Amino acid sequence: TGFLERAESPDQCVVREVKEELNLDATSPALIGVYAFERMNQVIIAYHVQAVGVISLNEELDDYKHVPFERCKVWPAGTGLALRDWLRSRGYEPEMLSMK
């Protein structure tokens, strides 16, 4: 996640953020969607990118895990909705978690 810098387009921002946070070279940003993140009074602009390199997390990130599409579960808000829409675009209908 990240924020736009002055005079930066959302496409440029996602490429820069992937490099800064994961040390991957991202190309071909494709918009997944725009989502309200009401709890933080923010808007999420979610992208799919092609990325190459070896993942090296920066200090903002603690860990990562590869999860097969068919095992993904999503929450019904914010980034969960972006993941849902991305999985649907790949032919998978994810299980929705309850926010109770």
Residue 1 lies in a domain: no
pLDDT at residue number 74: 96
Residue 32 lies in a domain: yes
pLDDT tens, position by position, 64-92: 999 999 999 999 998 999 999 999 999 99
Residue 68 lies in a domain: yes
Residue 46 lies in a domain: yes
Domains in the chain, number: 1
Q: Is the pLDDT of residue 99 over 90?
A: no
Residue 36 lies in a domain: yes
C-alpha distances in angstroms, 22 versus 17, 29, 45? 8, 16, 18
Q: Which domain holds residue 69?
A: 10-96
Of 93, 23, 51, 62, the C-alpha closest to 83 is 93
Residue 4 lies in a domain: no
pLDDT at residue number 65: 95
User: Cβ atoms within 10 A of the Cβ of 17, count?
Assistant: 19
pLDDT tens, position by position, 11-67: 999 999 999 999 999 999 999 999 998 888 999 999 999 999 999 999 999 999 999
Residue 71 lies in a domain: yes
Residue 85 lies in a domain: yes
Q: How far is Cα 89 from Cα 61, in angstroms, rounded to an integer?
A: 27
Query: Which has more pLDDT, 44 or 2?
Result: 44
In which residue are the tokens 């209908």 written?
Answer: 93
Residue 78, SS3? helix
